[in-house]
C-alpha cells in the first residue's frame, strides 16, 4: 500500500482542514499528501506540509483522487464535507466513498473520524 493521503474539503470546511493539518503535522509529514486544487493551495500556504495539488474539485480533482484509490496509491482519504450547505460546484463524496469501500481504503468525512484515522497511523 502506498504512503499517500488525500485531503479534500468543501469550501466551508477548508479552514477546519487547515487547522486539522496544523495540529497533525508530525503525522502528516510522514506521508506524501495530495489534495484538490484550492484545498492544496491553502494547505501549502498555511502549513509546513508539502501538498501535491490535483485539479480543483469542479474540474475533476476528486476524480483524479478516485483514480489513485483504484490504483492502490492511497492509504487514506480525509474529505471534510459540508453536509448542510455544500455548493453544486463542490466535489461529491459519494463517488469517493464508493471507490474507497470497493478498495478498502479508510475515508473520513468529519474531524472525529479523521482524528481516528491519523491516530491509527501513528503506530505504523
All structural domains of the chain, each given as residue ranges with its CATH number in brackets, are 4-121 (3.40.50.1380)
Q: How far apart are CA 20 and CA 112, in angstroms?
A: 10
pLDDT digit of tens for each residue in the chain (124 aa)?
459 999 999 999 999 999 999 999 999 999 999 999 999 999 999 999 999 999 998 899 999 999 999 999 999 999 999 887 767 666 678 889 999 999 999 999 999 999 999 999 987 7
Joined together, the cell numbers standing for residue 86 give 455544500
Does the annotation place 61 within a ligand binding site?
Answer: no
Please indicate whether residue 62 is annotated as part of the active site. Answer: yes
pTM, two decimals, is: 0.93
Give the three-class secondary structure for 41.
Answer: helix
Does the annotation place 39 within a ligand binding site?
Answer: yes
Between 93-103 and 61-70, two packed helices, what is the crossing angle to 10 degrees? 10
Say which of 62, 71, 101, 115 is annotated catalytic.
62
Joined together, the cell numbers standing for residue 6 give 488525500
Amino acid at each position: 500500500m502506498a504512503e499517500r493521503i488525500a485531503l479534500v474539503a468543501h469550501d466551508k470546511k477548508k479552514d477546519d482542514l487547515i487547522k486539522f493539518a496544523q495540529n497533525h503535522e508530525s503525522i502528516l509529514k510522514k506521508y506524501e499528501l495530495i489534495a484538490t486544487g484550492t484545498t492544496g493551495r491553502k494547505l501549502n500556504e498555511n502549513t509546513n506540509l508539502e501538498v501535491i495539488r490535483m485539479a480543483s474539485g469542479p474540474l475533476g480533482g476528486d476524480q483524479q483522487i478516485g483514480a489513485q484509490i483504484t490504483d492502490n496509491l492511497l492509504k487514506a482519504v480525509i474529505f471534510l464535507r459540508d453536509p448542510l450547505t455544500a455548493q453544486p460546484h463542490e466535489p461529491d463524496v459519494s463517488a469517493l466513498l464508493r471507490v474507497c469501500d470497493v478498495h478498502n481504503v479508510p475515508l473520513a468525512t468529519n474531524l472525529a473520524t479523521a482524528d481516528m484515522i491519523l491516530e491509527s497511523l501513528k503506530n505504523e
